[in-house]
Amino acid sequence: MTLAPIALSCGEPAGIGLELVQKAWSLLKDEMAFFLIGDPSHLAGDVPTIVISEASQAPAAMAQGLPVLAQTFLGDAVPGQPDPKNAEGVMRAIAVGTQLAMSGAASALCTAPIHKKALKDGCNFAFPGHTEYLAHLADVQRVVMMLASAQLRVVPATIHIPLRDVPTALTPAVLRETIAITAAGLTTQFGIASPRIAVAGLNPHAGEGGAMGREDMEIIAPTLAEMRTQGYDVVGPLPADTMFHAQARATYDAAVCMYHDQALIPIKTLDFDRGVNVTVGLPFIRTSPDHGTAFDIAGKGVANPSSMVEALRMAHRMALAKTQPHP
Protein backbone atom coordinates (compact mmCIF):
# COMPACT_ATOMS: atom_id res chain seq x y z
CA MET A 1 0.00 0.00 0.00
CA THR A 2 1.43 3.41 -0.97
CA LEU A 3 1.47 5.87 1.88
CA ALA A 4 -0.12 9.24 1.15
CA PRO A 5 2.29 12.17 1.53
CA ILE A 6 2.45 14.24 4.71
CA ALA A 7 0.89 17.72 4.61
CA LEU A 8 3.10 20.42 6.13
CA SER A 9 1.45 23.73 6.97
CA CYS A 10 3.77 26.71 6.53
CA GLY A 11 3.31 28.42 9.90
CA GLU A 12 4.36 32.04 10.35
CA PRO A 13 6.17 33.20 7.18
CA ALA A 14 8.31 35.67 9.16
CA GLY A 15 9.74 32.90 11.35
CA ILE A 16 12.19 30.07 10.75
CA GLY A 17 9.54 27.57 9.59
CA LEU A 18 10.03 27.89 5.83
CA GLU A 19 13.81 27.66 6.17
CA LEU A 20 13.33 24.45 8.16
CA VAL A 21 10.90 23.02 5.61
CA GLN A 22 13.48 23.56 2.87
CA LYS A 23 16.26 22.03 4.97
CA ALA A 24 13.98 19.10 5.80
CA TRP A 25 13.34 18.52 2.08
CA SER A 26 17.11 18.35 1.44
CA LEU A 27 17.56 15.85 4.28
CA LEU A 28 14.47 13.67 3.76
CA LYS A 29 13.71 13.71 0.04
CA ASP A 30 14.86 10.11 -0.40
CA GLU A 31 13.10 8.92 2.76
CA MET A 32 9.47 10.06 2.57
CA ALA A 33 7.07 12.31 0.67
CA PHE A 34 5.63 15.53 2.01
CA PHE A 35 4.38 18.81 0.64
CA LEU A 36 4.26 22.36 1.91
CA ILE A 37 0.96 24.23 2.12
CA GLY A 38 1.90 27.87 1.74
CA ASP A 39 2.79 30.71 -0.59
CA PRO A 40 5.69 29.79 -2.92
CA SER A 41 6.71 33.47 -3.13
CA HIS A 42 7.63 33.30 0.58
CA LEU A 43 10.38 30.75 -0.04
CA ALA A 44 13.91 32.14 -0.06
CA GLY A 45 17.11 30.18 -0.75
CA ASP A 46 17.98 27.86 -3.59
CA VAL A 47 15.91 24.73 -2.84
CA PRO A 48 13.91 23.97 -6.02
CA THR A 49 10.13 24.25 -5.71
CA ILE A 50 7.51 22.22 -7.57
CA VAL A 51 4.02 23.66 -7.44
CA ILE A 52 1.41 20.88 -7.25
CA SER A 53 -2.35 21.13 -7.56
CA GLU A 54 -3.22 18.15 -5.40
CA ALA A 55 -1.60 16.10 -2.64
CA SER A 56 -1.31 12.95 -4.76
CA GLN A 57 1.27 14.69 -7.00
CA ALA A 58 3.73 15.16 -4.10
CA PRO A 59 5.48 11.75 -4.11
CA ALA A 60 6.49 12.02 -7.78
CA ALA A 61 7.53 15.67 -7.39
CA MET A 62 9.60 15.06 -4.24
CA ALA A 63 12.77 13.99 -6.10
CA GLN A 64 12.85 17.18 -8.18
CA GLY A 65 12.07 19.75 -5.54
CA LEU A 66 9.96 20.75 -2.56
CA PRO A 67 6.33 20.12 -3.53
CA VAL A 68 4.13 23.12 -2.68
CA LEU A 69 0.35 23.14 -2.65
CA ALA A 70 0.18 26.83 -3.43
CA GLN A 71 -1.87 29.28 -1.39
CA THR A 72 -2.05 32.99 -2.00
CA PHE A 73 -1.07 35.09 1.01
CA LEU A 74 -1.71 38.83 1.11
CA GLY A 75 1.62 39.91 2.63
CA ASP A 76 5.32 39.38 2.06
CA ALA A 77 7.58 37.23 4.23
CA VAL A 78 10.00 39.56 6.04
CA PRO A 79 12.20 37.71 8.55
CA GLY A 80 11.35 38.63 12.13
CA GLN A 81 8.53 40.98 11.15
CA PRO A 82 5.14 39.27 10.96
CA ASP A 83 2.74 40.93 8.55
CA PRO A 84 -0.85 40.95 9.87
CA LYS A 85 -2.01 40.50 6.27
CA ASN A 86 -0.59 36.96 6.33
CA ALA A 87 -2.48 35.80 9.40
CA GLU A 88 -5.55 34.57 7.55
CA GLY A 89 -3.34 32.57 5.16
CA VAL A 90 -1.46 30.95 8.06
CA MET A 91 -4.77 29.82 9.57
CA ARG A 92 -6.06 28.64 6.20
CA ALA A 93 -2.95 26.52 5.57
CA ILE A 94 -3.62 24.66 8.84
CA ALA A 95 -7.27 24.17 7.92
CA VAL A 96 -6.38 22.88 4.43
CA GLY A 97 -3.84 20.46 5.94
CA THR A 98 -6.40 19.25 8.47
CA GLN A 99 -8.98 18.63 5.78
CA LEU A 100 -6.43 16.67 3.69
CA ALA A 101 -5.34 14.59 6.69
CA MET A 102 -8.95 13.88 7.67
CA SER A 103 -9.87 12.81 4.14
CA GLY A 104 -6.82 10.53 3.86
CA ALA A 105 -5.32 12.50 0.95
CA ALA A 106 -2.46 13.22 3.38
CA SER A 107 -1.23 10.53 5.76
CA ALA A 108 -0.56 13.08 8.52
CA LEU A 109 -0.34 16.78 9.24
CA CYS A 110 2.92 18.32 10.39
CA THR A 111 2.75 21.98 11.35
CA ALA A 112 5.54 24.56 11.14
CA PRO A 113 5.45 27.01 14.07
CA ILE A 114 2.90 29.79 14.26
CA HIS A 115 3.28 33.04 16.18
CA LYS A 116 0.24 33.15 18.39
CA LYS A 117 0.21 36.90 18.98
CA ALA A 118 0.72 37.64 15.27
CA LEU A 119 -2.34 35.50 14.50
CA LYS A 120 -4.39 37.14 17.21
CA ASP A 121 -3.41 40.62 16.03
CA GLY A 122 -3.78 39.76 12.33
CA CYS A 123 -7.03 37.81 12.19
CA ASN A 124 -8.33 37.63 15.73
CA PHE A 125 -7.27 33.98 15.96
CA ALA A 126 -9.47 32.71 18.77
CA PHE A 127 -7.31 29.75 19.88
CA PRO A 128 -4.26 29.65 22.15
CA GLY A 129 -2.39 27.34 19.74
CA HIS A 130 -2.59 24.63 17.09
CA THR A 131 -3.69 22.06 19.67
CA GLU A 132 -6.96 23.79 20.44
CA TYR A 133 -7.50 24.95 16.81
CA LEU A 134 -7.06 21.40 15.47
CA ALA A 135 -9.50 20.01 18.05
CA HIS A 136 -12.00 22.63 16.89
CA LEU A 137 -11.45 21.85 13.18
CA ALA A 138 -11.83 18.11 13.82
CA ASP A 139 -14.84 18.69 16.08
CA VAL A 140 -13.22 16.81 18.97
CA GLN A 141 -14.06 17.90 22.52
CA ARG A 142 -10.80 16.98 24.17
CA VAL A 143 -7.25 16.30 22.93
CA VAL A 144 -3.94 16.32 24.76
CA MET A 145 -0.65 17.96 23.86
CA MET A 146 2.24 15.52 24.16
CA LEU A 147 5.89 16.41 23.67
CA ALA A 148 7.96 13.36 22.90
CA SER A 149 11.61 12.54 22.41
CA ALA A 150 13.78 9.46 22.81
CA GLN A 151 14.36 10.39 26.46
CA LEU A 152 10.98 11.56 27.69
CA ARG A 153 7.29 12.00 26.90
CA VAL A 154 5.34 14.68 28.73
CA VAL A 155 1.72 15.80 28.73
CA PRO A 156 0.49 18.94 30.49
CA ALA A 157 -3.03 18.44 31.89
CA THR A 158 -3.70 22.14 31.48
CA ILE A 159 -2.15 23.72 28.41
CA HIS A 160 -2.22 27.34 27.33
CA ILE A 161 -3.74 29.07 30.35
CA PRO A 162 -2.31 31.56 32.85
CA LEU A 163 -0.59 29.95 35.83
CA ARG A 164 -3.03 31.58 38.25
CA ASP A 165 -5.92 29.68 36.61
CA VAL A 166 -4.27 26.26 36.87
CA PRO A 167 -5.49 25.12 40.32
CA THR A 168 -9.15 25.71 39.50
CA ALA A 169 -8.80 24.14 36.04
CA LEU A 170 -7.43 20.92 37.54
CA THR A 171 -10.66 19.02 38.06
CA PRO A 172 -10.96 15.23 38.42
CA ALA A 173 -12.63 15.14 34.99
CA VAL A 174 -9.73 16.99 33.34
CA LEU A 175 -7.21 14.64 34.96
CA ARG A 176 -9.19 11.54 34.04
CA GLU A 177 -9.55 12.61 30.41
CA THR A 178 -5.89 13.60 30.14
CA ILE A 179 -4.68 10.27 31.52
CA ALA A 180 -7.13 8.19 29.50
CA ILE A 181 -6.31 9.95 26.20
CA THR A 182 -2.58 9.73 26.97
CA ALA A 183 -2.79 6.01 27.73
CA ALA A 184 -4.76 5.34 24.55
CA GLY A 185 -2.31 7.40 22.48
CA LEU A 186 0.70 5.58 23.92
CA THR A 187 -0.84 2.34 22.73
CA THR A 188 -2.20 3.37 19.34
CA GLN A 189 0.45 5.88 18.28
CA PHE A 190 3.57 4.67 20.10
CA GLY A 191 2.89 0.92 20.15
CA ILE A 192 3.12 0.54 23.95
CA ALA A 193 0.72 -2.23 24.91
CA SER A 194 0.58 -1.52 28.68
CA PRO A 195 1.51 2.12 29.20
CA ARG A 196 2.93 3.27 32.54
CA ILE A 197 2.02 6.82 33.44
CA ALA A 198 3.60 8.94 36.17
CA VAL A 199 1.62 11.93 37.38
CA ALA A 200 3.21 15.02 38.87
CA GLY A 201 1.87 16.83 41.89
CA LEU A 202 0.86 20.46 41.64
CA ASN A 203 2.49 21.84 44.76
CA PRO A 204 6.04 21.62 46.13
CA HIS A 205 6.69 18.09 47.44
CA ALA A 206 3.29 17.08 46.02
CA GLY A 207 1.70 19.10 48.81
CA GLU A 208 3.66 17.52 51.69
CA GLY A 209 0.52 15.97 53.16
CA GLY A 210 -1.46 19.19 52.86
CA ALA A 211 1.14 21.45 54.45
CA MET A 212 2.00 23.02 51.08
CA GLY A 213 -1.34 22.92 49.26
CA ARG A 214 -4.30 20.58 49.24
CA GLU A 215 -4.92 19.88 45.51
CA ASP A 216 -2.53 16.91 45.51
CA MET A 217 -4.36 15.03 48.25
CA GLU A 218 -7.89 16.22 47.50
CA ILE A 219 -7.99 16.15 43.67
CA ILE A 220 -5.05 14.28 42.16
CA ALA A 221 -4.56 11.35 44.56
CA PRO A 222 -8.24 10.24 44.64
CA THR A 223 -8.52 10.51 40.85
CA LEU A 224 -5.46 8.30 40.39
CA ALA A 225 -6.77 5.80 42.94
CA GLU A 226 -10.03 5.57 41.03
CA MET A 227 -8.21 5.13 37.72
CA ARG A 228 -6.07 2.33 39.16
CA THR A 229 -9.27 0.42 39.95
CA GLN A 230 -10.13 0.76 36.26
CA GLY A 231 -6.84 -0.84 35.23
CA TYR A 232 -4.67 2.20 34.50
CA ASP A 233 -1.01 1.81 35.46
CA VAL A 234 -0.67 5.22 37.01
CA VAL A 235 1.49 6.45 39.89
CA GLY A 236 1.45 9.79 41.72
CA PRO A 237 1.07 12.50 42.60
CA LEU A 238 4.87 12.58 42.55
CA PRO A 239 7.02 15.53 43.62
CA ALA A 240 7.74 17.09 40.24
CA ASP A 241 11.30 18.10 41.05
CA THR A 242 12.53 14.51 41.31
CA MET A 243 10.61 12.75 38.56
CA PHE A 244 12.70 13.72 35.56
CA HIS A 245 16.19 12.42 36.37
CA ALA A 246 17.35 9.45 34.30
CA GLN A 247 16.56 6.73 36.85
CA ALA A 248 13.05 8.10 37.43
CA ARG A 249 12.37 8.46 33.69
CA ALA A 250 13.09 4.77 33.20
CA THR A 251 10.04 3.87 35.32
CA TYR A 252 7.33 5.37 33.09
CA ASP A 253 6.31 5.83 29.46
CA ALA A 254 4.84 9.30 29.89
CA ALA A 255 4.68 11.94 32.59
CA VAL A 256 1.39 13.77 33.00
CA CYS A 257 2.09 17.18 34.47
CA MET A 258 -0.20 19.79 35.91
CA TYR A 259 0.72 22.81 33.79
CA HIS A 260 2.56 23.81 30.61
CA ASP A 261 6.02 24.63 31.92
CA GLN A 262 6.13 21.78 34.45
CA ALA A 263 5.93 19.47 31.43
CA LEU A 264 7.83 21.39 28.79
CA ILE A 265 10.86 22.59 30.74
CA PRO A 266 12.24 19.09 31.32
CA ILE A 267 11.85 17.93 27.74
CA LYS A 268 13.11 21.14 26.16
CA THR A 269 16.10 21.05 28.50
CA LEU A 270 16.88 17.40 27.76
CA ASP A 271 16.08 17.34 24.05
CA PHE A 272 15.26 20.74 22.54
CA ASP A 273 16.77 19.72 19.20
CA ARG A 274 14.78 16.52 18.87
CA GLY A 275 11.53 17.03 20.75
CA VAL A 276 8.30 16.56 18.82
CA ASN A 277 4.89 17.94 19.68
CA VAL A 278 2.10 15.40 19.03
CA THR A 279 -1.60 16.11 19.40
CA VAL A 280 -3.12 12.95 20.85
CA GLY A 281 -6.84 12.33 20.51
CA LEU A 282 -7.40 13.73 17.01
CA PRO A 283 -8.83 11.51 14.29
CA PHE A 284 -5.60 12.02 12.30
CA ILE A 285 -1.85 12.19 12.99
CA ARG A 286 -0.46 15.60 13.85
CA THR A 287 3.14 16.38 14.76
CA SER A 288 5.18 19.56 15.01
CA PRO A 289 8.67 20.64 16.05
CA ASP A 290 8.94 21.52 19.74
CA HIS A 291 10.10 25.08 19.15
CA GLY A 292 8.55 28.30 17.97
CA THR A 293 9.08 30.90 15.27
CA ALA A 294 12.49 32.08 16.58
CA PHE A 295 12.23 35.59 15.11
CA ASP A 296 15.66 36.38 16.57
CA ILE A 297 17.38 34.09 14.04
CA ALA A 298 14.86 34.18 11.17
CA GLY A 299 16.39 34.83 7.75
CA LYS A 300 19.93 34.13 8.96
CA GLY A 301 20.13 30.55 7.68
CA VAL A 302 21.27 29.20 11.06
CA ALA A 303 18.07 27.50 12.27
CA ASN A 304 18.55 23.87 13.31
CA PRO A 305 16.16 21.59 11.35
CA SER A 306 16.52 18.56 13.69
CA SER A 307 13.21 18.96 15.50
CA MET A 308 11.34 19.50 12.21
CA VAL A 309 13.04 16.42 10.76
CA GLU A 310 12.08 14.39 13.84
CA ALA A 311 8.49 15.66 13.60
CA LEU A 312 8.25 14.51 9.97
CA ARG A 313 9.90 11.18 10.76
CA MET A 314 7.57 10.55 13.69
CA ALA A 315 4.51 11.37 11.56
CA HIS A 316 5.83 9.03 8.86
CA ARG A 317 6.42 6.20 11.36
CA MET A 318 2.95 6.62 12.87
CA ALA A 319 1.35 6.67 9.42
CA LEU A 320 3.22 3.53 8.38
CA ALA A 321 2.18 1.79 11.62
CA LYS A 322 -1.47 2.58 10.86
CA THR A 323 -1.18 0.61 7.63
CA GLN A 324 0.15 -2.51 9.38
CA PRO A 325 -2.35 -5.10 10.56
CA HIS A 326 -2.51 -5.36 14.37
CA PRO A 327 -0.70 -8.46 15.72
Ligand X SMILES: N[C@H](C(=O)O)[C@H](O)COP(=O)(O)O
Ligand Y SMILES: NC(=O)c1ccc[n+]([C@@H]2O[C@H](COP(=O)([O-])OP(=O)(O)OC[C@H]3O[C@@H](n4cnc5c(N)ncnc54)[C@H](O)[C@@H]3O)[C@@H](O)[C@H]2O)c1
Our CB check for ligand Y shows the closer of 120 and 249 to be 120
Among the listed residues 84, 85, 128, 100, the one whose alpha carbon sits nearest the alpha carbon of residue 9: 100
> Under rule CB under 6 A, how many of the chain's residues touch ligand X?
8
CB of 118 to ligand X, least distance (A): 13
Partner whose binding site includes residue 304, from ligand Y, ligand X, none (CB under 5 to 8 Å by kind): ligand Y
What's the rounded Cα separation, in Å, for the pair 118 and 84? Answer: 7
7, 324 Cβ separation under 8 angstroms:
no
CB of 289 to ligand X, least distance (A): 8
264 binds, among ligand Y, ligand X, none (CB under 5 to 8 A by kind): ligand X
Q: Write down the least CB distance from residue 129 to ligand X, Å.
A: 3
Ranked by CB distance to ligand X, the top (closest) residue is 129
Does 264 contact ligand X by CB under 6 A? yes
CA nearest neighbour of 218 among 170, 264, 178, 254: 170
Q: How far is the CB of 208 from ligand X (least distance, A)?
A: 29
Q: Within 288-307, which residues bind ligand X (CB under 6 A)?
A: 288, 290
Known binding positions for substrate: 130-131, 268, 277, 286
Query: CB 318 → ligand X: shortest distance, Å?
Result: 16
Q: What are the binding residues for a divalent metal cation?
A: 160, 205, 260
Q: Residue 13 in contact with residue 73, Cβ under 8 Å? A: yes
The residue among 71 and 223 lying less far from ligand Y, judged by its C-beta, is: 71
Would you say 76 or 132 has its CB closer to ligand Y? 132
Q: Which does 274 bind (CB under 5 to 8 A by kind): ligand Y, ligand X, none?
A: none
Binding segment toward ligand X, per CB under 6 A, in 4-12, 73-81, 86-94, 128-136: 128-136
The residue ranges that bind ligand X (CB under 6 A) are 129-131, 145, 264, 277, 288, 290
